[in-house]
Structure 1
Amino acid sequence: MALFFDAEWFDARLAERGLSRAEMAAAAGLNATDLALAFKDQRELSAGEVAAFAELLGVEAAEVAARAGLSTPVPGPGCVEARIAALERRVAALEAEVARLRGA
């Protein structure tokens, strides 16, 4: 369980970038329910999710972890697997968005 998830901070960062919670969830490979649980302090973020959110929000992973109330899952510089997984999730989300826009 997270110690304290600063939902207001996350929402403000998303707003600054013109992004939604749905886009945040997609960037980390989460569904809306899992993200909502994190925002309500009922689910901790993994190191990969921390990395994905940090990249999406343009902040350091340590800042995301601190704002999520986490004391440990901050990916280190050698966390290549987590970075690759986050990039793969982002590419999949972008491909899905392109496909949706082409169908519109």
Structure 2
Amino acid sequence: MALFFDAEWFDARLAERGLSRQVLAAAAGMSAADLALAFKDQRELSAGEVAAFAELLGVEAREVADRAGVSTPAPGHPSPTEARLAALERRVAALEAEIARLRRS
């Protein structure tokens, strides 16, 4: 993860698509002032803003989060703890199904 907002990277992606910062702000539902704070690393992006940036720029949300210095997980990418919990929940569900099947036998 980048420690700071990588304004040069975002500006380059915008330039590749012929877009402006104003379009980026509008796509994310942000004011120009909020976007300026993010570009100056004085405001962290929300998960929804990360997702909107990713869609507009045609990159993965994880890339946007990394380039923005976002400390919270990007949308669609569970934290290691969330992934482990989901795996355990699947195992418990499978065990419960097996117990139910054995009881019917």
Q: Same fold (TM over 0.5)?
A: yes
Structure 1 unmatched runs, 5+? 79-104
* Structure 1 Cα separation of the partners of residues 63 and 15 of structure 2: 17
Name the Cα RMSD after superposition. Answer: 1.7
C-alpha deviation, 1:71, in angstroms: 2.8
Q: Aligned partners of 1:18 and 1:73: how far apart in 2?
A: 28
Aligned length: 77
The equivalent residue for 1:25 is 25
Partner of 1:6: 6
Deviation beyond 2 Å, 4+ runs, structure 1 = none
Give the TM-score of the pair, scaled to structure 1. 0.70
Per the normalisation by structure 2, the TM-score is: 0.69
Per-residue deviation, 1:64: 0.1
Higher relative contact order (CA 8 A, sep 6+): 1
- CA distances 1:9-51 after superposition (whole Å, capped 9, x unpaired): 0000000000000000000000000000000000000000000
- Highest CA radius of gyration, 1 or 2? 2
Matches within 5 A, 1:23-62: 23-62=23-62
